[in-house]
Amino acid sequence: MALLTLGLNHTTAPVELREQVAFDASRLPDALAQLTRDFPGVREGVILSTCNRTELFLAIDGEDEPDIVRWLAGFHAVDADALAPHVYAFRDLKAAQHMMRVASGLDSLVLGEPQILGQFKDAIRSARDALACGTELEQAFSRVLSIAKRVRTETAIGRNPVSVAYASVNLASRIFSDLSSCKVVLVGAGETIQLVAEHLNGQGVQGIDVVNRTLANAETLAATIGGFAWSLAELSERIQNADIVIASTGAPIPVLGKGMVERAQKVRRHKPMFMVDLAVPRDIEPEVGDIDSVYLYTVDDLQTVVDEGLEQRQEAARHAEQLIKDALDDWQREIRGYRAVDTIKQLRDSTQELSEQELARAVKALESGKPADEVLQQLSRNLTNKFLHAPTVALRSAAEQGDLSLIEATHRLFTIDDIEDLD
């Protein structure tokens, strides 16, 4: 049985195509059933489908690769010829290496992002529920998840900010020892603020106020994070209780002025306030940074943090790649060991069969009245000749062809002393 990985991701296919071949959770059981029960040559299967990738991890029979691209295209009603150039495929250890890199976040759009590991586990769980994940893939995924965990714990791949949203939360954690006890106001409801909200939730921050010009958008975001929605007209009042304010609205002029922040600080008795302006044009007047007890950062300030974080993650990624290489080397050695076991078994079986044949012949000779010493000598000669016939023929042929490696291997295999100079 061979391991096959096939898929497309953010580096090989545009988002329009990735959307077309994404698997909805409700259709996964049917897809897995088709792959493992109705598709020739596929024994086991796991499907990983995210916004940035769709990948199929398969245990297949033999050397012939099934036409999974055509099946994938057919399942999603996509033109196979248009899909094929965007698809990559790996076998055996190359497939395992790819799986390890994906699970470790090394193949992600954001280097080292942690969500992919959870998505990986969800994909395995779905395949188990569909009875599509058997012994072969379970063993493979056990190794993959083990190395992904080591990458997380033994490297700094996920510890440094590589996005302004993450950097905002990371900086806030340096100012406030316990973010979960902080009151947070988010100004805006776009993609950047959504990412900020997710990172804050991950730090245990609850009851976030979302302030936005369009109240419906604020309500949508607030509902996903267990927060509260407010209109922009209520911003001045909301920041009076805010320890952290992060803004990204896309407004043409600042929505937070120095006077508004000064009034809020009077109410707060000048407790520290951490403010981040992620917008271009700015949402927060630059003069706000002149207020004592207010820590104001712009997107340019954060970019420096992001660049440093990316450099550190890249260094961690090199360490992670070495961990993966070492794991694959160990895996390769085990595979070679399994092959040796099979060879040894075949050798023992064939030798045992020859021994039993010669033993039966010797017993008949004894029963016919031949002297025992004569029979035993003949048995010894026959066993020696039978055991060494095939190796002898192979060695003679190798010598005639100038292949000295087989002769040298024979010396090592049978521990023959006094090896002659074969050059």
pLDDT category, 43, cuts 50, 70, 90? Answer: very high
What integer pLDDT is reported at residue 419 of this predicted model? Answer: 47
Do 19 and 152 share a domain, yes or no?
A: yes
Whether residue 408 is contained in a domain is answered as yes
Average pLDDT on 301-323 reads 85
Mean pLDDT of 111-120: 86
Residue 339 has a pLDDT of 66
Number of domains in the chain: 3
What is the per-residue pLDDT across 149-177, written as a single tens digit (0 to 9) for each?
999 999 988 776 667 888 889 889 888 98
Domain presence at residue 110: yes
Helix (H) or strand (E) holding 317: helix 299-367
pLDDT, mean of residues 339-355: 82
Residues 10 and 141 in one domain: yes
Same domain, 141 and 174: no
User: Could you read off the pLDDT of 174-224 as tens digits, one per residue?
Assistant: 889 899 999 999 999 998 899 899 989 988 999 999 999 999 999 999 999
Q: Is 51 an active-site residue? A: yes
Average pLDDT of span 254-271: 95
Stretch 291-309: mean pLDDT: 85
Residues 142, 51, single domain; the answer is yes
Shared domain check, 96 and 78? yes
What is the rounded CA–CA span in Å between residue 381 and residue 260?
105
Beta carbons within 8 Å of 99's beta carbon, 6+ residues apart: 5, 57, 140, 141, 144
Residues 301 and 381 in one domain: no
Catalytic residue among 11, 15, 51, 348: 51
Q: What is the pLDDT of residue 104?
A: 94
Q: Are residues 276 and 377 in the same domain?
A: no
CATH number (domain holding residue 62): 3.30.460.30
Domain identity same for 54 and 154: yes
Residue 70: how many other CB atoms lie within 10 Å: 13
Tokens of 111: 């280097």
pLDDT at position 161, please? 61
pLDDT given at position 310: 79
Instruction: Determine the pLDDT at residue 237.
Output: 96
Claim to verify: residue 72 and residue 89 sit in the same structural domain = yes
96 and 131 together in one domain: yes
Residue 27 is encoded by which pair of tokens?
A: 């259709």
Q: Give the model's pLDDT for residue 417.
A: 65
Are 223 and 135 members of one domain?
Answer: no
Domain presence at residue 311: no
Same domain, 112 and 259: no
Range of the domain at 59: 2-159
